[in-house]
Amino acid sequence: MPQKSQPVSVESLLTLRGPERAALPEELCKLKKLETLHLNGNHLRQLPAAFGQLAALKTLSLSGNQLRTVPTQLSGLRHLDVVDLSKNQIQNVPDTVGELQAIELNLNQNQISQISAQISHCPRLKVLRLEENCLELSMLPPSILSDSQISLLAVEGNLFEIKKLRELEGYDKYMERFTATKKKFA
39 has pLDDT over 60: yes
Q: Does residue 3 belong to any structural domain of this protein?
A: no
Share of the chain above pLDDT 70, in %: 89
Query: What CA–CA distance (Å, rounded) separates 110 from 64?
Result: 10
The confidence band for 43, taking pLDDT boundaries of 50, 70 and 90, is very high
Q: Does residue 6 belong to any structural domain of this protein?
A: no
User: What total of structural domains would you count in the chain?
Assistant: 1
3 has pLDDT over 80: no
1 secondary structure, DSSP code: -
Q: Does residue 20 belong to any structural domain of this protein?
A: no
Q: Does residue 75 belong to any structural domain of this protein?
A: yes
**What's the confidence (pLDDT) of residue 4?**
43
Query: What CA–CA distance (Å, rounded) separates 49 from 63?
Result: 19
Q: Does residue 83 belong to any structural domain of this protein?
A: yes
Query: What CA–CA distance (Å, rounded) separates 83 from 62?
Result: 8
The confidence band for 84, taking pLDDT boundaries of 50, 70 and 90, is very high
Lowest mean pLDDT among 42-46, 77-81, 117-121, 147-151: 42-46
97 has pLDDT over 50: yes
Strands 12-13 and 36-38: parallel
Q: Does residue 13 belong to any structural domain of this protein?
A: no
Share of the chain above pLDDT 90, in %: 83
Q: Does residue 14 belong to any structural domain of this protein?
A: no
Strands 127-129 and 104-106: parallel
Q: Does residue 58 belong to any structural domain of this protein?
A: yes
**What SS3 state is found at 135?**
coil
Domain containing residue 129: CATH number: 3.80.10.10
Question: Average pLDDT for residues 102-121, to the nearest whole number?
Answer: 98
Query: What CA–CA distance (Å, rounded) separates 21 from 59?
Result: 20
The confidence band for 7, taking pLDDT boundaries of 50, 70 and 90, is very low
Task: Provide the domain limits for residue 60.
Answer: 25-184
**What SS3 state is found at 143?**
helix
Question: Average pLDDT for residues 58-82, to the nearest whole number?
Answer: 96
Question: Average pLDDT for residues 101-107, to the nearest whole number?
Answer: 98
The confidence band for 2, taking pLDDT boundaries of 50, 70 and 90, is very low
**What's the confidence (pLDDT) of residue 185?**
85
The confidence band for 23, taking pLDDT boundaries of 50, 70 and 90, is confident
**What's the confidence (pLDDT) of residue 13?**
63
What are the backbone angles phi and psi of residue 107, rounded to the nearest 5°? -120, 20
pTM for the whole structure: 0.91
